[in-house]
Structures are given as C-alpha cells and as structure tokens.
Amino acid sequence: MKNHNLNFLELVESSLKNVRECDIHQVKANMDNGEDFLLIDVREDREWVQGHILGAEHLGKGIIERDIGNLVVDKEKPIILYCQGGFRSALAGESIKKMGYKNVFSMSGGFGDWVNNNYPVGKP
C-alpha cells in the first residue's frame, strides 16, 4: 500500500460515508449473473491501457464529471466505479452522486484485488 498523506485518507473516509462499497467478488458475481449495471474505470489513461476489467468503460477521475452525462443518461442506473485500490473511485463516486446519480458504488480493493484473484482482464 502506498504511503498516502493522512489528509487524503481522511477525504476518502469522508467520501465513503456517502458512497456504498462492494467488493470484487460481488462485482464478478453481478457480471456472471448478467446484472444490469455500468462498470467504470476511473484510473488514468496509462493505467487503463496496461489492463482493465473486461466490459468496463473508461472515464478517468479527471474527466468523469464532464463526460458521465454522455455515457449515463439514466441517473437511477447502478454504477460501480473502480480504480487501482478503491480510493479514487470513492472520491469520484461522491462527486457523481452530487450530480444526481443515485446508485453509485465504489469497488473496494480495486483493480489490484481483481488481478490478484485472477479475474479476467482485457487490454484495448
């Protein structure tokens, strides 16, 4: 785990009071069961091209607020965000909840846990 500034971790904890979490196993089960949800990778472009979860859309944390309206019109649709470890996705989740998206989740453990569990990964 990276040595994050305490203020950053406090910000993440604050975001998680407003954004529900789900773990990688729940996300994989949702995918396997054909659940209707949108999976969004909020990592940087360079991280996305190195590998991402199959079926995910890519809206980096720096642009998600600007571009999510083009991708998701239905603000009731379940959205699961993920990053490398679950911190940036929590922050992005809080931000899009403020924009009116109702069913927003952050995937705890992130892409790192996904890969460590040998779940399928794709490259563009």
CATH number of the domain bearing residue 12: 3.40.250.10
Which residue in 68, 81, 83, 92 is the catalytic one?
83
C-beta of residue 59 within 8 angstroms of C-beta of residue 42:
yes
Residue 1 lies inside a defined structural domain of this protein: no
State the pLDDT at residue 109.
95
How many domains, in total, are found in the chain?
1
Residue 75 lies inside a defined structural domain of this protein: yes
pTM for this model (two decimals): 0.91
Tell me the torsion sign for CA atoms 96, 68, 71, 106.
negative
Print the domain residue range for 40.
6-122
**Tens-digit pLDDT string for the chain (124 aa):** 566 766 988 888 989 899 999 999 999 999 999 999 999 999 999 999 999 999 999 999 999 999 999 999 999 999 999 999 999 999 999 999 999 999 999 999 999 999 999 999 998 6
Give the β-pairing of 20-23 and 57-58. Answer: unpaired
Residue 52 lies inside a defined structural domain of this protein: yes
Question: Would you give the distance in Å from CA 86 to the centre of its chain?
Answer: 7
- Residue 22 a catalytic site member: no
